[in-house]
Chain A
Amino acid sequence: MKLITAVIKPHKWEDVREALETFGVTGMTVSEVSGYGRQKGHTEVYRGAEYDIALVPKIRIEIVVDDGDTEDVVGIIVKTAQTGRIGDGKVWVSPVETVVRVRTGDQDEAAI
C-alpha cells in the first residue's frame, strides 16, 4: 500500500476529485494548507503599507491506495492539476505499513 500526497492549486481541486472518482478512488483526506516553493507569495497593500504575503494557499490531498493503483492515481492527479505555470504543486508517494478500518477492524487491503 502507498500513501499518495498531493499539494495542488485550490481551483483545480474539484477537477482532480472528479477524475479520481471516475477512476474509482472512493475516499480521501483533504486539507487547506499554505506554503511556498518556487512560486513565492505576493504583495498586498493596506493604506499604503506593503505586506509580503509569503505563503500561498494550497489544497493537500491524501489517499491510501493499493500498490497496483499507485501509478494511475499519480498520473491522474498530475494530468488534471496541471496548468503549466509555476505553482501547480507536487505529488509524492510513501510506503504504508498498516491500515485499519476503525468501524470493523478490517486490516490493510480490505481496509482501503
Chain B
Amino acid sequence: MDYGYHAWMLVATSLVLMMITPALALFYGGMSRSKSVLNMMMMSFTALGIGGIVYVLWGWSMSFGSEDVGMLFANPFELFGLDGVGGQNYIFVGFQMTFAVITAALISGAVADRLKFSAWVMFVPLWLTLSYFPIAHMVWGGGFLGTAKDGISGLLFDLDPVPIDYAGGTVVHINAGMAGLVLAILLGKRLGFGKEPMKPHNLTLTMIGAGMLWFGWFGFNVGSIVFAGESPEADATQFLSETSLVWLNTTVATCAAMLGWLLIERLRDGKATSLGAASGIVAGLVAITPACGSLSPVGSIVLGLVAGGVCALAVGLKYRLGYDDSLDVVGVHLVGGLVGTIGAGFLATSGGLLYGDGAKQLVLQVLVALGAVVWSGLATLIVGLLIKYTIGLRIDEEGEVDGIDFLEHGESAYELSSGGGARRTPGLNATASATTKEGANV
C-alpha cells in the first residue's frame, strides 16, 4: 500500500509539472500574438525556475510548517531549506511545489504583451510569499480557512461541516484569477486594446496545451487525496474508491464544460470554435478542482455544464468593464474557481444544499471563497504597487509595438521565409575581443 501510494505520488507530481511546462506555456502561447509568444512561454518556464527554488527554501515552511502565525501563515524559517524534512516527505514537498508554481504561472495570461520580464522575475517570488503560501496555509495547512478548530468552520459550525477544497479551487484558481485581475488593472490595457485585432496567433498550440492540461490534471486532482488515517485497511479502501471517483469526476465535468462552452458559442455567435473547446476544457477542470472528491459523477456533469456556460459568458466582461485581462485568467480561473468552490455547497453528496443537507456547507463555501478573493486581491495589490514604483511594471510603447519577444529576449519566434534577410554577424565573442583590443569596449 505505502509503495503503491508513493509510486503514484511520484507520477502525479510529474504530471502537474507537465501542466506548467509545456502544457500551460503552449495553451497561453498559442493564444498570444506572434510577436509575444516567446515571452508568454518564458513566463511559465521562469515561474518554474524561480518558484521551485523558493518553495524548497521557505515555501513549504510557510505553508505547512507547525509554527502558525495568527492562523494566516506559518513561520518561514522553521523548516527553511527543508531543515528537518526528509524521507518520503520530499515527494509531498515536490507535489505542493508544482501547485505553487502553476498558480503563479496562471497569472501570466493576464499580462500578455506588456509586462517587463524583470518585473515578472520579481513578481513571482514576492507574490508566492505574500499570497500563495499564506492561502495554502489557511486552507490546507491548519489555518483559518481550513479544518482547524479555531478556524472559520470551527467558530461558526463546530467543524460540521468543514470547508471543501479538494485540490485548490481557492488556493490555486480563485487566487490566480484575482491576482490576474489586480495585475491587469495596475498594468493598464495593451496599446490598441478593443480597437486592433489581437486574435490568437496559433490555435493548434492552444489545443495541444489544453489536451495536455487535461491529462496533467489527473495528477493535480487524483494526487490530492488526504487519508483519514484511522487504520491501514481503511486507508487502503479510501485510496481505491476515492482516487477512482476523483478521476471520473474530473473527466466528466470537463467533458460537460467543453460542451457547455460550445453550446453558448453556437447560440450566441453562430459557430462552435476550437478556442471555445480548449477554453471549456480548462473551465471544467478549474471548476471540478475543489469539488472532485465530494460530488457524484452526475453532479460533476451538472457542475461542468454550468462552469462551461458561465465562463463562456464571463470572458466578455473585460470589454464591458474595461480591464485588459488578455488571455482571460479572470473569466476562466476566478469565475471557474468560484463556480466550483460555491457549486460544491450545492452539489456535495454529503452536505450539499441540493441533497437536503441545509445551507451550512454553502455558507462556508461562499465565505472561504471570499476570504481567498480578499487576501489574494490585497497581497497582489501590495506586490504590484511595490514593483510599479521601484523597477516599473510596463515596457515602453515603442517596444510594445515592435513586440516584447524582441525587446525583452532579443528573439523572434518564427522564421518562415527561406531568405529571411538575415545575415549572421561575426560571433559575439569575436566582436567583444576585437573591441577590447581597440580599447573601445563600452
Q: Which residues of A contact B (CB under 8 A)?
A: 44-53
Contact of B275 among A46, A51, A52, A53 (CB under 8 A): A46
> Nearest B residue to A49 by beta-carbon distance?
B319
Contact (Cβ within 8 A) B315 A47: yes
Interface size of B in residues (CB-CB distance below 8 Å): 19
Apart from A48-B315, A50-B269, A51-B199, 7 more pairs, CB < 8 Å: A45-B265, A45-B269, A45-B270, A46-B273, A47-B316, A48-B265, A49-B316
Q: Does chain A have a CB within 8 A of B400?
A: no
Contact (Cβ within 8 A) B199 A46: yes
Contact (Cβ within 8 A) A48 B269: yes
Q: Does chain A have a CB within 8 A of B154?
A: no
Minimum CB–CB distance for B332 against chain A, Å: 9
Contact (Cβ within 8 A) B319 A45: no
> Nearest A residue to B317 by beta-carbon distance?
A48
Contact of B316 among A44, A48, A53 (CB under 8 A): A48
> Nearest A residue to B268 by beta-carbon distance?
A48
Q: Does chain A have a CB within 8 A of B197?
A: yes
Return chain B residues, CB-CB under 8 Å to A47: 275-276, 279, 312, 315-316, 328, 331
Minimum CB–CB distance for B82 against chain A, Å: 42
Q: Does chain A have a CB within 8 A of B271?
A: yes
Contact of B312 among A46, A48, A51, A52 (CB under 8 A): A48
- State which residues 272-294 of B face A: CB under 8 Å: 273, 275-276, 279
> Nearest B residue to A45 by beta-carbon distance?
B269
Return chain B residues, CB-CB under 8 Å to A49: 316, 319
Minimum CB–CB distance for B325 against chain A, Å: 11
Bound CA–CA A53/B198 (angstroms): 11
Contact (Cβ within 8 A) A45 B197: no
Return chain B residues, CB-CB under 8 Å to A53: 197
Minimum CB–CB distance for A34 against chain B, Å: 13
Question: Interface readout for B308-331 with A: 1 if CB under 8 Å, 0 if not?
Answer: 000011011001000000001001
Known: A51-B199, A53-B197. A45 touches B271 (CB 8 A): yes
Return chain A residues, CB-CB under 8 Å to B276: 47
Minimum CB–CB distance for B273 against chain A, Å: 7
> Nearest B residue to A52 by beta-carbon distance?
B197
> Nearest B residue to A54 by beta-carbon distance?
B197
Return chain A residues, CB-CB under 8 Å to B211: none
Return chain A residues, CB-CB under 8 Å to B319: 49
